[in-house]
């Protein structure tokens, strides 16, 4: 691990950079996929699935038989784990329900804010080397609580044309039955434009590789909303000399194993001996991982930033704005109170990121690439819209007319002024 000692603040911007991708090149790959799906619909999707996922499909939608079969294909322990995770995620997101607001701002003027669900949502669930059935829960549960009228899932199939049974089981737990065997940018295109098989949605959610992320950005330029801009997953572990090196190494590796473009950062206020212990643990644990090749590539881009004091470490962390932040330090609550930029924060030696990734209840769909400075992680609000209503009575016209007319006149918008003036005159005010 590359160790940087007490970097000057002028170096922080460089040290907090993520791996850079040529977005122009990504769009040059993704744009023709959108064009093909838009022009030829299902036929294009089947061709693209053969090209990218190496599978020939007769139908794109997962049948009821395959969904029901998933139950028998899963180990009881895994099903129990999914059910318990579902309960925890449901409890946390159910507590986020919006209470309608009604305010009389002045006599005769009532303003209301009401929450309504996004009607049609599309969930993209990565498959491939790591089928993320946990993401089905993270997206499907709040969609269910919000009351979205239509929820569809797109996920890449295996070369046998099957969807991972854990993904199907998690979808069934969330009441999702419209599931399509489509992966990559073509799935995003299908949900954006709609085909004979795949409904067009109003908003697309879910993680994916760089091509999926580029496709989501392209979709957002048309008439489909997306959950957030995002990139490869990342973690920062902030430690002092009370950390447990084995825990820290495990946390860094749990992020690194996502893929070679993941980023892991260790920020430390300890002496170099603790960092060396963490490095030793990293080497030992890495060799035991089935996905060690992925993790090893990610670790080549990792770094440790060593500071003399915790305040600099905190300031650096806020500049980095990590997707996941683990605080393995003695005064973790005091430190957490100073964190202003992070997607999700894990407090103390026993709070591993894996808990949030799977089953503690918080959502694991989070802003990456320093977007935590401007975006929240996914929550119930992501699946709802807030509409305002207002009612103005005769008394309200009396109290509000002068204000509105004066402001409209000052902006040289006479029709705006007249809309209130005619009402005022009709009431002889």
The answer to whether 251 is a known ligand-binding residue is: no
Q: How far apart are CA 72 and CA 65, in angstroms?
A: 11
The 10s digit of each residue's pLDDT in 271-289 is 889 999 999 999 999 999 9
The answer to whether 416 is a known ligand-binding residue is: yes
Q: What is the pLDDT of residue 97?
A: 97
Same structural domain, 195 and 249: no
Catalytic residues: 323-324
Q: What is the pLDDT of residue 232?
A: 84
Listed residues 226, 242, 265: the one ending a domain = 226
Same structural domain, 174 and 305: no
- pTM for the model stands at 0.95
Residue 384 lies in a domain: no
Position with higher pLDDT, 25 vs 249: 249
Contacts of 116 (CB under 8 A, 6+ apart): 384, 385, 386, 387
Residue 237 lies in a domain: yes
Buried b (16+ CB within 10 A) or exposed e, 401-418: beebbeebeeeeeeeebe
The answer to whether 258 is a known ligand-binding residue is: yes
- Class of residue 337 by CB neighbours under 10 A (exposed 0-12, middle 13-18, buried 19+): exposed
Same structural domain, 39 and 163: yes
The answer to whether 375 is a known ligand-binding residue is: no
The answer to whether 93 is a known ligand-binding residue is: no
Listed residues 168, 197, 226: the one ending a domain = 226
Q: What is the pLDDT of residue 214?
A: 93
The 10s digit of each residue's pLDDT in 283-339 is 999 999 999 998 999 898 889 999 999 999 999 999 999 999 999 999 999 999 999
Same structural domain, 6 and 28: no
The 10s digit of each residue's pLDDT in 45-79 is 999 999 999 999 999 999 999 999 999 999 999 99
Residue 205 lies in a domain: yes
Residue 366 lies in a domain: no
The 10s digit of each residue's pLDDT in 156-214 is 999 999 999 999 999 999 999 999 999 999 999 999 999 999 999 999 999 988 899 99
The answer to whether 341 is a known ligand-binding residue is: no
279 is written with which tokens?
């490095």
Going by their DSSP bridges, the two strands 384-392 and 109-117 should be labelled as antiparallel
Nearest partner of 316 among 236, 253, 230, 254, judged by Cα: 236
Whether the per-residue pLDDT at 395 is higher than 80: the answer is yes
Q: What is the mean pLDDT of the chain?
A: 95
Residue 304 lies in a domain: yes
Q: How far apart are CA 350 and CA 313, in angstroms?
A: 21
Same structural domain, 72 and 123: yes
Please tell me the total count of domains within the chain. Answer: 3
Please report, rounded to a whole number, the percentage of residues in the chain having pLDDT higher than 90. Answer: 90
The 10s digit of each residue's pLDDT in 353-389 is 999 999 999 999 999 999 999 999 999 999 999 999 9
Q: What is the extent of the structural domain holding 239?
A: 2-17+232-361
- The CATH number that applies at residue 264 is 3.40.50.1980
Same structural domain, 243 and 311: yes
The answer to whether 134 is a known ligand-binding residue is: no
């Amino acid at each position: 691990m590359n160790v940087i000692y007490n970097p000057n603040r002028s170096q922080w911007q460089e040290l907090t950079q993520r791996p850079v991708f040529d977005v122009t090149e990504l769009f040059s790959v993704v744009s023709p996929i959108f064009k093909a799906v838009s022009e030829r619909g299902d036929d294009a999707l089947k061709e693209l699935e053969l090209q990218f996922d190496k599978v020939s499909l007769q139908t794109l939608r997962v049948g009821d038989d395959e969904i029901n079969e998933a139950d028998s294909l899963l180990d009881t322990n895994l099903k129990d784990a999914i059910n318990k995770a579902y309960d925890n995620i449901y409890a946390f997101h159910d507590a986020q329900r919006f209470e309608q607001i009604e305010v009389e701002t002045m006599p005769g003027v009532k303003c209301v804010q009401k929450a309504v669900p996004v009607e049609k949502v599309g969930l993209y669930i990565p498959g491939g080397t790591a089928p993320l059935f946990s993401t089905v829960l993270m997206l499907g549960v709040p969609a269910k609580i919000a009351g979205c009228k239509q929820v569809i899932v797109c996920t890449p199939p295996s070369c046998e044309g099957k969807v991972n049974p854990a993904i199907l089981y998690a979808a069934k737990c969330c009441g999702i039955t419209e599931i399509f065997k489509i992966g990559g940018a073509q799935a995003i295109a299908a949900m954006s434009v709609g085909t004979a098989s795949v409904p067009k949605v109003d908003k697309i959610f879910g993680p994916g590789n760089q091509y999926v992320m580029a496709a989501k950005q392209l979709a957002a330029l048309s008439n489909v909303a997306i959950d957030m801009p995002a990139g490869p997953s990342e973690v920062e572990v902030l430690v002092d000399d009370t950390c447990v090196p084995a825990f820290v190494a495990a946390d860094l590796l749990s992020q690194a194993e996502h893929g070679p473009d993941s980023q892991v950062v260790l920020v430390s206020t300890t002496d170099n001996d603790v960092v060396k212990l963490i490095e030793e643990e990293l080497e030992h644990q890495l060799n035991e991982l089935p996905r060690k090749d992925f993790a090893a590539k990610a670790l080549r881009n990792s770094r440790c930033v060593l500071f003399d004091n915790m305040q600099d470490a905190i300031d650096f962390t806020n500049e980095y704005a990590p997707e996941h932040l683990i605080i393995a330090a003695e005064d973790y609550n005091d430190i957490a109170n100073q964190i202003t930029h992070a997607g999700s924060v894990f407090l103390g030696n026993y709070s591993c990121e894996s808990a949030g990734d799977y089953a503690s209840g918080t959502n694991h769909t989070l802003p990456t690439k320093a977007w935590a400075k401007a975006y929240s992680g996914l929550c119930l609000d992501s699946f709802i819209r807030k509409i305002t209503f207002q009612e103005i009575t005769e008394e309200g016209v009396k109290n509000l007319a002068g204000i509105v007319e004066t402001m409209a006149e000052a902006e040289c918008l006479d029709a705006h002024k007249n809309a209130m003036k005619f009402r005022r005159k009709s009431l002889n005010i």
